[in-house]
Amino acid sequence: MSEITIDVNELGEKVVRVLKTIYDPEIPVDIYELGLIYDVFVNEDYDVKVLMTLTTPNCPVAETLPVEVEDKIKTIKNVKSAEVEITFDPPWSQDLMSEEAKLELGLL
């Protein structure tokens, strides 16, 4: 039997779709559109690493949000592992939000 190969880019797109289902509890916008996700890496072994930030270093969900992100990514078929790295460089600002998020929050 031949192994079914999964396109790394396709898996990355699935990760982004899952990230768009996770919402900041204080803002009614998903973490991807909020600009909290800086990068998504998927290697050939289907290990996923997400580089993300929080709205502030003392964000109330600083402990739980990264765990939620990891747990949801791990539910994607073929993902072997998921790791979230939090960074505050560069610090999050409203400029990182998508147009959609700014519209949702009445900033446009």
| CATH number 3.40.50.12160 given to 8-92 | no
DSSP string, 58-74: T-TTTTTHHHHHHHHHH
pLDDT along the chain (108 residues), means of 10: 69 96 89 96 96 90 93 96 96 94 91
State the pLDDT at residue 59.
83
Whole-number Å distance between alpha carbons of 25 and 13 = 24
State the pLDDT at residue 27.
83
State the pLDDT at residue 1.
41
Q: Please state the pTM of the whole predicted model.
A: 0.89
